[in-house]
Amino acid sequence: MKFLPYVVMFLLSLNLSATSGTKTHCLYKPDTGKETKDYNEPKRNAPLKALIVDGQNNHAVWPKSTIMMKQYLEETGLFQVDVYRTKFTWGAEREKEYLPLAGVGETTDLENPQQDPNFFPEFKNYDVVISNFGWKAADWPENAQKALENYMSSGGGFVSVHAANNSFPDWLEYNKMIGLGGWGDRTEKDGPYVYYTNEGELIRDISPGKSGAHGPSHIFPITLRIKDHPITNGMPEVWLTTEDECYAQLRGPAENMTILATGKDVSGKAPTDRHEPMLMVVDYGEGRIFHTALGHDDFSIESVGFIISFLRGAEWAATGKVTIPIPHDFPTAEESSSRVFKLKNDSK
């Protein structure tokens, strides 16, 4: 009789899942062959599984930023993180000492990005997939593209970090997932520019033109546009980045996309005089995407604003909820805040 309340709770939860509206997301169960998770259980007993995919990025920080993000995620106690890397890498030289820490074996760094024909991560084994690819990354093989599409449309989670929104300009479904992208010959054919005016009006602008621009890295203000989303809830309305690029003139399908926060380039060399999308969420089928345009280099990724929005975005993409609190060292409208990255000794 002792477990009867649990049976009742289970039946109740079934009933809730069946009647709680058009999009529950909680119906998604990763096909791991293991027992399925109840996300209402304390996370420490059942860590979320995250996969960082990387290997080809014009940002030379990438071998290090993968390890930084892995460590940030694992330090929350919520995530267990694997890395999946292309066999042929590009741009790995500057931070090559971080390569072995990913635990993915030997890779070969090439002069130019080249497709890894065997690249096939088992997306379905993960609660969230994080892309640390960048500009000019070689296309994934078609079966890997289709696998990501299936994983996402059936309720997966995805996080696009900084130049991951430069990748794969010709892959339509990927562009639907990220909502907005930059460079790679994206133009009006790919969708509108989306931004906020200085007066706070949300604009979808179909005028012709190229996509992707930024001024120099600098500290700039982030303004929340949606304050009660789980990812932004409790953040100050305006907060400062560390030195980072304020991406501008992004364009893309922008379907089922919500801009949570914008950035305003105050470098004096801004490509636009408007507030550009920095933190976004996108629904793709039953899947959830968190897109951060922040994270240009290690000093940008040490920003507490980057770290916390990234972690909350990853948790939200994985579960639809956020339990990670806003820490005391979160930046304000007056003060930038960063945490110097220290590699943990027990990293792989």
Q: How many Å from the N-terminal Cα to the C-terminal Cα in the chain? A: 45
Q: How far is the CB of 325 from Zn ion (least distance, A)?
A: 29
Q: How far is the CB of 169 from Zn ion (least distance, A)?
A: 16
**Between 37 and 64, CB nearer to Zn ion:** 64
Q: How far is the CB of 258 from Zn ion (least distance, A)?
A: 23
Q: Is 6 exposed, middle or buried (0-12, 13-18, 19+ CB in 10 A)?
A: exposed
Q: What is the DSSP string of 168-223?
A: -TT-HHHHHHHS-B-STT--GGG--EEEE-TTS-EEEE-------B----B--EEE
**Between 184 and 287, CB nearer to Zn ion:** 184
**Between 83 and 246, CB nearer to Zn ion:** 246
Cβ–Cβ contacts within 10 Å for residue 346, how many? 6
Closest chain position to Zn ion (CB): 296
**Between 46 and 219, CB nearer to Zn ion:** 219
Q: How far is the CB of 114 from Zn ion (least distance, A)?
A: 22
- Cα separation, 140 vs 173, whole angstroms: 13
Q: Is 71 exposed, middle or buried (0-12, 13-18, 19+ CB in 10 A)?
A: middle
Q: Footprint of Zn ion on this chain (CB under 5 A)?
A: 245, 296
DSSP state of 138: P
Q: How far is the CB of 162 from Zn ion (least distance, A)?
A: 6
Residue 60 one-letter amino acid: A
Q: How far is the CB of 207 from Zn ion (least distance, A)?
A: 25
**Between 291 and 296, CB nearer to Zn ion:** 296
- Cα separation, 237 vs 249, whole angstroms: 23
**Between 245 and 315, CB nearer to Zn ion:** 245
Phi-psi region of 25 (alpha: psi -120 to 50; beta: other; left: phi over 0): left
